[in-house]
């Protein structure tokens, strides 16, 4: 009899667990709506709503710059241009100076980078080891590699000085023509 009670309690517990899991499964299926379904429902509702009519007011209408045109009237006199947008009388405009400055600045930057490379190569050649003894003797005698690099470095330094002078000349030209100094920034 004792075994029957244990089997009965065990069977009752299993039936309760099965019922609880079935109830939980129904609960999750009922509340589990996919996000796509929700989006479709919202899109359908938005499509059914009427769009608001456009209301035209004075704020929405653009006003012409010169006012209302009338037949037979004279146009209003034009205002003198601002001093900031005015071109120099005898020279070039802002675009000319900006383009020339950018070209000169690019050339100066390129020359400075090339000078750095030449100086690095000179440093390497001064401590260069030649596995060929004849080449070592030749370089110790004439130092042609180092002399050649030194000459290239000197010419590159001269070119950098010329680039800087060209930029200064452009600044002077701008000042003489009466342009805005902000054009060269």
pLDDT digits (tens, 9 = 90+) for 21-69: 777 666 555 566 788 888 888 888 877 777 777 777 877 777 666 655 5
The chain-wide mean pLDDT, for the chain, equals 78
**Total-model pTM:** 0.46
Pull the structure tokens for residue 50.
């009427």
pLDDT at position 87 is 46
Reduced 3-state DSSP string for 66-118: CCCCCCCCCCCCCCCCCCCCCCCCCCCCHHHHHHHHHHHHHHHHHHHHHHHHH
What single DSSP character describes residue 185? -
> Looking at residues 77-82, what average pLDDT do you find?
54
pLDDT at position 83 is 45
Helices (H) and strands (E) in the chain, counts: 5, 0
71 or 172, which is more confident?
Answer: 172
18 Ramachandran zone, left/alpha/beta (phi>0; psi -120 to 50): alpha
Angstrom distances, CA of residue 120 to CA of 110, 111, 127, 149, 157: 16, 14, 11, 10, 15
C-alpha atoms less than 13 angstroms from C-alpha of 54 in its C-beta half-sphere: 4
> Looking at residues 73-86, what average pLDDT do you find?
52
Q: What is the pLDDT of residues 94-105, one digit of tens each?
A: 888 888 889 999
């Amino acid at each position: 009899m004792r075994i029957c009670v244990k089997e009965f309690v065990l069977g009752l517990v299993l039936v309760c667990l099965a019922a609880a899991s079935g109830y939980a499964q129904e609960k999750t299926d009922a509340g589990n709506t996919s996000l796509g379904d929700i989006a479709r429902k919202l899109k359908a509702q938005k499509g059914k709503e009427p769009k608001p009519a456009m209301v035209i007011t004075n704020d929405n209408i653009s006003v012409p710059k010169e006012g209302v045109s009338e037949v037979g009237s004279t146009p209003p006199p034009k205002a003198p241009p601002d001093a900031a947008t005015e071109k120099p009388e005898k020279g070039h405009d802002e675009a000319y100076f900006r383009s020339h400055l950018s070209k000169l600045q690019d050339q100066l930057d390129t020359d400075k980078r090339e000078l750095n490379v030449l100086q690095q190569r000179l440093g390497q050649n001064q401590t260069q080891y030649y596995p060929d003894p004849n080449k070592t003797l030749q370089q110790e005698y004439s130092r042609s590699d180092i002399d050649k690099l030194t000459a290239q470095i000197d010419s590159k330094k001269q070119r950098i000085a010329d680039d800087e002078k060209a930029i200064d000349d452009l600044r002077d030209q701008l000042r003489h023509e009466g342009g805005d100094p902000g054009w060269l920034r």
